[in-house]
Amino acid sequence: MEQFRSNAHRWGRISLGLGILISFALPIYISFAMGYHPGFQMILSSLLTYGAVIGIVWFLEPIMYFPVLGVSGTYVAFFTGNISNMCLPAVASCQDAVGVAPGTDKGEVVGALGISAASLVNKIILIPVILAGLWLLTVIPESVQEVFPYVLPAIFGAVLAQFASKTPVYGLLALIIGILVNMAAIPLFAKNVLCIVILVAIMLFADSRKNKKYQNA
């Protein structure tokens, strides 16, 4: 597994590095080759505005997803995208089907294979859907399109139920804390962090009390 993770780090950095360069290629070409550069002041202002809203997610998501995805799965997931609504459910389903626990060596390998398979299937389906997307939207009834905003919350709910079934108390606790924090009058960018910090702190405290109880028994 050490050799596996070492290779994952090497090829993951190379792949993500190439992905970053390719992502910058088009805007650089439009800005300097075609002459449509908006100015660095506007770019910096837009970056700061965007970062103020979701910048915390750039640091939070790797921490949130790493225990489930593992080293190799994290590289594949962040290169592929659609982590919350495709990669994470795929990992959870594969680990549950094989019967391995998240955070273990076997769970990491199974998760990486699950993400890779899900990404491949996604691209095979997504390419023709994108090409025929405009036509498809005209065919889908409006009553069905109204359901689309509920797809992502439904996926999160299914993933929560799948993991909470293993430790129902923690699942119920996470749900209660999430509802209370989201109802509180605090900035939006701080809510995710606060939910994780509170829940992890409670779990660590509960586990330490449980271990002390077993030691004293």
CA–CA distance, 15 with 9 (Å, rounded to integer): 10
* Tens digit of each residue's pLDDT (9 = 90 or more) over 100-127: 887 788 888 888 888 888 888 888 887 8
Alpha carbon 6 to its chain's center: 22
The predicted structure's pLDDT at residue 25: 92
Question: Which pLDDT belongs to residue 13?
Answer: 92
Q: Could you give the CA distance from residue 155 to residue 180 in angstroms, rounded to a whole number? A: 21
For position 52, what pLDDT does the model report?
Answer: 65
Cβ–Cβ under 8 Å, residues 16 and 79: yes
Residue 53: the pLDDT is 62
pLDDT for the residue numbered 56:
74
Distances from the Cα of 108 to the Cα of 78, 115, 197, angstroms: 15, 10, 24
Cβ neighbors of 96 (< 8 A, separation 6 or more) are 162
pTM for this predicted structure = 0.62
pLDDT in tens, 6-42: 888 999 999 999 999 999 999 999 988 888 888 888 8
Can you tell me the mean pLDDT for 191-217? 77
Q: Where are the domains of the chain?
A: 2-166, 167-217
Q: What is the pLDDT of residues 50-102, one digit of tens each?
A: 776 677 778 877 887 888 888 888 888 888 887 877 888 888 888 888 888 87
